[in-house]
Amino acid sequence: MFQGVYTALVTPFRADGTVDYDCLRALVGRQCEAGVAGIVPVGTTGESPSLSYEEHIKVIETVVEACGVGKVCCKDRPMVIAGTGANSTSEALELTQQAKAVGADATLQVTPYYNKPSQEGLYRHFMEVAEKGGLPVVLYNVPGRTSKEIAVDTVARLAPHERIVAVKEAAGSVDRVSQIRDVCDITVLSGDDALTLPMMSVGASGVISVAANVIPKVMVELVAAALAGHWDAARTLHMCYYRVMTGFFLDTNPVPVKTALALLGLCEEVFRLPLCPMETSLRERLHAILEKSGVI
């Protein structure tokens, strides 16, 4: 059910800082045309911490609606995995229920951040969302942002629940994929574009991708090749675009990828504080990478 490329979509803003819903629809349309398996709105890349509750739900609803129109029929439209995690279980649950009400297909649940719960607390948190949220749950392990890892044993405890369907691994460890696959059969998705190919070589089923905002067709082709066992073709694409994938982390995500979209004329280069535009030197490095790779 969960394999392929799922784009961690940016949230575009107008010059005045308001959400640009027309631009958002256009970005979704571009993803649909590229054939991605799904779209992940209001995750890390979607600047979710900077959105109000009302904006959060409206962005999800807009993405759901945009996925069901145009050239992509409802039957074949990309899955919408809404970012509805929080460090308050009640808030995560409420956001998840609202996402379901506006048509999301699943939820991405980040590890609760800042309050540093125990592994038992994490287990109870995710189980509460799975039991009462009403949507399939993709766990999101990203200790670099949350300061807390979902232990492999905790993933194994959660995996038997019928609504806990996958885990996004963004800890920078290929070995975590092997460890998880060794103790349970939950689907693993890479949370790092540059590790997509290595992770798929040991059992991951795809990627929740930042790079797909800019190069969706490339990421779709890379993952499709790996799923088909065409490793040479996948490796060639990986090496051709490796610097692009890593270039999107020259600064805090999503600043570089949104800058790249702006350079392509696909959105405004606007962020909400505390995020801000890239320093000139970093922006020039990113531009050079995109030029050399043929992206621009």
Nearest 10 degrees: CA dihedral of 220, 248, 23, 94? 90
Please give the structure tokens belonging to residue 270.
């606007």
Closest CA to 269 of 31, 8, 23: 23
Q: Which amino acid is at 127?
A: M
Strands (E), the chain: 4-8, 38-40, 79-83, 106-110, 137-141, 164-169, 187-190, 206-209
- 6 catalytic residue (yes or no): no
Three-class SS state of 144:
helix
- Among 6, 21, 140, 241, the active-site one is 140
How many Cα neighbours within 13 Å face the side chain of 217?
5
Contact assessment for residue 11 and residue 229, using Cβ atoms and an 8 Å cutoff: no
Both tokens of 115, joined, read 């309050």
- Among candidates 190, 67, 84, 192, which has minimal Cα distance to 137? 84
Q: Which residue reads 């394999």 in tokens?
A: 3
Q: What's the count of helices (H) and strands (E) in the chain, helices before strands?
A: 12, 8
Q: Residue 140 catalytic?
A: yes
The 10 Å CB-count burial string (b at 16+, else e) for 76-85 is ebbbbbbbbb
Catalytic residue among 148, 168, 241, 258: 168
DSSP secondary structure letter of residue 19: B
Enzyme catalytic residues: 140, 168
